[in-house]
Amino acid sequence: MAAYLDDVEIEKTLGRDIAWESFASARLISDKDVQLIRRYDKRSPELRASMLDEAGPAYVEAFLSVLKAVSKEDTVQYVLALLLQMLQENPARAKFFHLQSEQHMATLPDPYTPFLRLLQRQDWFTQEKSAKLLTAVIEGRPRKSSAFSNGVLAADAGASATAAYGGPDPAEPHVSGFIDWLIGQLRRPSNPTKSVPLSTGLLSVLLKERGSRQLFLRAGGTTLLPSLLKSSNSPSNSQLLYELCMCVWQMTFVPAACDALSTAGVTKPLVEVCRGAQKEKVFRIALSALRNLLDADTEHNGAASDMVEAGLPKIVITRQLQSWGDEDVPEQLAYMDEKLRQGIQVLSNFDKYRKEVTSGQLDWSPMHTSDVFWRENVEKFEERDFVVLRALLKLLETSREVKTLAVGCHDLGMFIVHHPQGRYIVSDLRGKELVMRLMAHPDPEVQKQALLCVQKIMLRNAANN
């Protein structure tokens, strides 16, 4: 049985008695559906199994007809419990949601909408059980190999790839809506203790599919994972931590998600998980996620330096002394040890400079005043749309530390001198007006460096005219 289907609450719920005939009398459901439900309800597992083997889709349609037509809370909860019980006893029965019985051959089955609507109910029991059932329905659909139009196949290769997979998956809007709901639960839990564990566990199942990963990325779910890792990192949360790391690991197979995760600061929380993990499965999945992030960083945007700075090399060395039940773990550790050693050797001064700028505090270290540093690294400022230069200008605009402002003005001047288009780039990014404003700063050193920077702008201007 899938772990997420485990549920101890349903036995108590199934102890209720439901007056099924009243719904037929009110013409909410058909007499045929009432007959099926009464025949199934309160029977032994063996008898239920025989009925489902004989006419599984018909029974599922009868249960769904109740969920569509009846709003009474205890009845809705009872039917949800019946469906969960059915899947607990045999998860393969999820296929029944996608098949048509003889009495419903005229209509295509829609097993998604009833559960999506129930997610909007206020009671947690209904939300939780509907989410679990919807996950099973999505997992059990027959066209899982089809492309999502907003999924990775369409994004990578366009309409031809979608056509090659038999057209877009008709479940996509439902999967997308469900992922949006799960992300909403991570952001604003409707249940203070259960929403995050439920949503994380179900996402770890859904994100097995490439298309779902793209939907999760598009909906902004990726950026939530680092903070959730931080807040959940304790031995008492080992299962939640494992499922969060599983979500991160699955998302590292999407290049754009790797960038989003790194930008959101996922590296340090993952390293902290590796540092403190007591369960092997938690350590293994966190290390696997870090490995993928390191391998994905082909443009050297700082993954290795982030891991080194967070202390991962020492953790890897220490963990190599342990014995492991999974033979893949020692191999992973040896691989990471070698990659991090290489990373330490090739970390450039520019990586250190980038770290210093993003920290928000600048100091007069040798690289700031070294002409060699600026000649060798000035082109690296162009990476990712001048992200480091923009961060430097942001410091000149917002910092209140005189040393940071002085060093920042100096660095801007060095960039102007060494980059052939430096003056124009700085002017386009409003750097000139920021520095001219600092010429009136009360600190003499800031005034001096701002003046020197403005002079370099003017000298470059004169040289180009």
The pLDDT tens digits of the residues spanning 67-119 come to 999 999 999 999 999 999 999 999 999 999 999 876 654 456 789 999 999 99
229, amino acid identity? L
CB 13 within 8 A of CB 79: no
User: Taking 80 as the threshold, does the pLDDT of residue 326 lie above it?
Assistant: yes
For the stretch 117-143, pLDDT in tens is 999 999 999 999 999 999 999 999 987
Confidence label for 167 from pLDDT (cuts 50, 70 and 90):
low
Query: Per-residue pLDDT for 346 more than 70?
Result: no
CA 61 to chain centre: 34
Average pLDDT value over all residues in the chain: 89
How far is the C-alpha of 195 from the C-alpha of 197, rounded, in Å?
6
pLDDT of amino acid 436:
96
pLDDT of residue 237: 92
Contact (Cβ atoms closer than 8 angstroms) between residue 132 and residue 5: yes
Question: How many other CB atoms sit within 10 Å of the CB of residue 360?
Answer: 13
* Enclosing H/E stretch for 32: helix 31-40
What average pLDDT does range 318-327 have in this prediction? 94
- CA angle, 342 as apex, 339 and 345 as ends, to 5°? 150
Sign, Cα dihedral of 196, 202, 205, 208: negative
What residue type is 127 in one-letter code? Q
> Residues near 355 by Cβ (< 8 Å), separated by ≥ 6?
302, 305, 309
Domain residue extents for the chain: 1-142, 145-220, 223-347, 359-464
* pLDDT score, position 144: 75
Architecture of domain 223-347: Alpha Horseshoe (1.25)
CATH for the stretch 359-464:
1.25.40.150
Residue 131 · residue 182 · CB < 8 Å: yes
Please state the rounded mean pLDDT for residues 334-345: 84
Q: Identify the band that residue 369 occupies on the pLDDT scale cut at 50, 70 and 90.
A: confident
| Residue 462: pLDDT band with limits 50, 70, 90 | very low
pLDDT per residue over 437-449, tens digit each? 999 999 999 999 9
Domains 223-347 and 359-464 belong to one CATH topology:
no
Predicted confidence (pLDDT) per residue in 172-195, tens digit: 999 999 999 999 999 999 999 999
